[in-house]
Structure 1
């Protein structure tokens, strides 16, 4: 594999079995380069969120091969996948999933504390720097439930960045945001991919968001069009 290819999906096939057997993904294959900002688009039911969950290693019930950072992840054990995800993949969902009683800073620290490669003091400092990058350092000690929706989503991005993952995966990361905050989040992602060489793969319904990405992959009925 060439050095600049960070993710490779080969002939990914996925079925749902309820209420009856249904093929959601049909031989989906593509490569993603390091530092690329990629949008996954398609109508509801096209398979884009299902594909993201396969790419993120959270869904392992598929046929085909998934390679990230030259590591074949297909058929690995759940605990190995969880460890790989925590170190190499950051997640930003439509809903921020912050712990409401924790401060913004504490929420950002959680994945790094789990990874356990740095001291708590170092992690706190890095978390604060990430909040600063996202213009939120003044809110660092505020409880998550006291922040606005746009601020909460930026805290979620800081949390996704804390372990310096190779890939950030977003599932409708701006889905709950107004136009202004959508632009803020887009600009943050753009800067991360350009300045830090981190890869972004985002599922989105937002045409403006998608059209400003480096590349769009459109799914229709489980096939790339």
Structure 2
């Protein structure tokens, strides 16, 4: 079952002069698929991810996520859709440093308000345990290592049971040991939980071990291998 469909996506940057950064990009992603998007700097991969995540809406073409066309929706509608359907993991974790791990993970679910605070706390504790952070729940985020902070960011991305987790270089600031830990987390989420994952990465080994690689070159898809 397809959970994401990108159809004829074209994107222009207009400064300092008009430039077509994405050129008629089309592909589909199935439920439970772990996809890596690769390409040289300037190929358009991060730009594409921000369009897919609905954080950038200035494009031509159509994006459908979980059966809903997100193209041309209002900013308020997209913000609500994002919070429910998309978990995003950045290269930098963007945790609130003076908040506890538990508080950081709970925030998106409290905003969505689909469950009670007690249920949200229980789910947050479960995710932190699953990601190897049991016993650290009440620590401030600023007191963790970089690898631990990125695992908290993954827990936060999972709290609303999103349709898709998207990541922009989520291992870019990590050493090889923590990169493997984060990769294994994504691998297990896809295989065991049926979680759909789309990751932009420069790491060839990371990409090679995912289910499929979508390669961009000069704004075009040049391969989408299994």
TM-score over 0.5 for the pair: yes
Aligned to 2:101: 104
> What secondary structure, in the 3-state scheme, does the structure 2 residue paired with 1:30 have?
strand
Post-superposition Cα deviations, 1:189-220, rounded to whole Å, max 9, x if no partner, equal 01111111110000000000000000000000
Deviation of residue 122 (structure 1)? 1.0
The ranges of structure 1 where at least 4 consecutive aligned residues each deviate by more than 3 angstroms after the TM superposition are: none
State the TM-score, normalizing by the size of structure 2. Answer: 0.98
Q: CA deviation at 1:164?
A: 0.5
Summarize the alignment of residues 1-225 of structure 1 with structure 2, pairs less than 5 Å apart: 4-225=1-222
- Aligned-pair RMSD on alpha carbons? 0.4
Q: How many residues align?
A: 222
Gaps in structure 1 of 5+ consecutive residues = none
- Aligned equivalents of 1:170, 1:97: Cα separation in 2: 13
Shift of 1:172: 0.1
Deviation track 1:140-178 (CA, whole Å, cap 9, x = no partner) reads: 100000000000000000000000001000000100000
Q: Distance in 2 between matches of 1:126 and 1:70?
A: 26
Alpha-carbon distance in 1 for matches of 2:132, 2:163? 22
Deviation at 1:102, TM superposition (A): 0.1
Aligned-partner SS, 1:139: coil
- What are the ranges of 5 or more consecutive residues in structure 2 without an aligned counterpart? none
